[in-house]
Copies of this chain bind each other. A is one copy, B any other.
Amino acid sequence: MSSARILVAEDDPKQANLVRVYLEREGHSVLLVSDGRAALDQCRARRPDLVVLDVMMPAVNGLDVCRILRSESDVPILLLTARTTEDDVLLGLDVGADDYITKPYSPRELAARVRALLRRAGAVTAGEQEVLRVGDLEIDAGRFEVRVAGRPIALTAKEFGILEVLAGHPGRAFTRAQIIDRAFGFDHYVLERTVDAHVMNLRRKIEVDAAAPRYVQTVFGRGYRLAEPAEGAPAGEGAAGDGAP
C-alpha cells in the first residue's frame, strides 16, 4: 500500500540514513538496524512489509540473513550490493532475494524497486485474502470497509488498522506496542494509552455491548485480542506461537 513498514539493515550509518530519508520521503515508515543479527530479530518481532538488506554486514552477513528469512517468511527482500559482479547478483537471487540494487543507486531507483516489490507482494496477498472473516466480522481491506453481520460500518484509518492487525491472528494477544508497530508504522511515536482510546471508539462502533465485548477483548496486563469465532474450544495458544519473542 501507500505506506509500508520497511526494515533496513545497513551497517554504515551514513548510508543507512540516506536510505531512510529516501524511503520516508515516499511515505514509508522505516526501522533501521545495523547488523545481521538485529535484522533477524527485528524482522521476527516487528513483521515488516519489506526488508532492505545490505550484503556486507557484521554479525551475520546479508546473504545469510536473506537465506534464513526466506526459510521462515515470504517477506519481500531487496538486496543492496556494493559490487556489481554477476556472482553477487546470482548469489543474491539464489538465496531468495526478490530483487537487488547495486551501489551507487539513485533515490528514484530505490523508490521504484521498493514500489514494484510492494506492489507485486500486494497483488499476491490481495488476490487471496482480500477479505478477512472472523465470525460475524468481515474486514474488507480492498474496500476499506468493515461489516458486522453484513451491515457496513464506517471506521477511521487507525481503527481499521488496529482491527486488521488483530484479525490477522484471531485469538492471539497483542501488546499495545505491537499494535502501534504494526498498525501505525515504526516511526509512529505515541503513548500506549492512545491504543486504548482507539479500541474504545472501535468497540462503540462494532460491539453490541461495549461493556462485554464480543470481538475486541482485553487481555489484562498484556493488551488486546480478537475473539476467535468458535466458542467451543478455546485452544490455549496464549501469547506465544507467532514467532514474536
Contact = CB atoms under 8 A, between A and B. Distances in A.
Contacts of A222: 144, 157
Nearest to A171: B143
A127 B177 contact: no
Contact of A130 (B131, B176, B239): B239
A175 interface: yes
A243 B27 CA distance: 23
A127 B244 contact: yes
B1 A175 contact: yes
Interface of A: 1-2, 14, 17, 21, 25, 27, 108-109, 111-112, 115-116, 119-120, 122-123, 126-128, 130-131, 142-145, 156-157, 169, 171-173, 175-178, 181, 186-187, 189, 192, 219-223, 225, 239, 242-244
A105 to B, nearest CB: 12
Contact of A244 (B126, B223, B239, B242): B126
Contacts of A142: 169, 172-173, 242
A112 B17 CA distance: 11
7 contacts: A2-B176, A122-B244, A128-B243, A142-B173, A142-B242, A144-B225, A145-B173
A143 B225 contact: yes
Closest 4 CB pairs of A and B: A127-B243, A157-B221, A2-B177, A144-B173
A239 B156 contact: no
B144 A219 contact: yes
A131 B50 CA distance: 34
A51 B65 CA distance: 39
Nearest to A219: B144
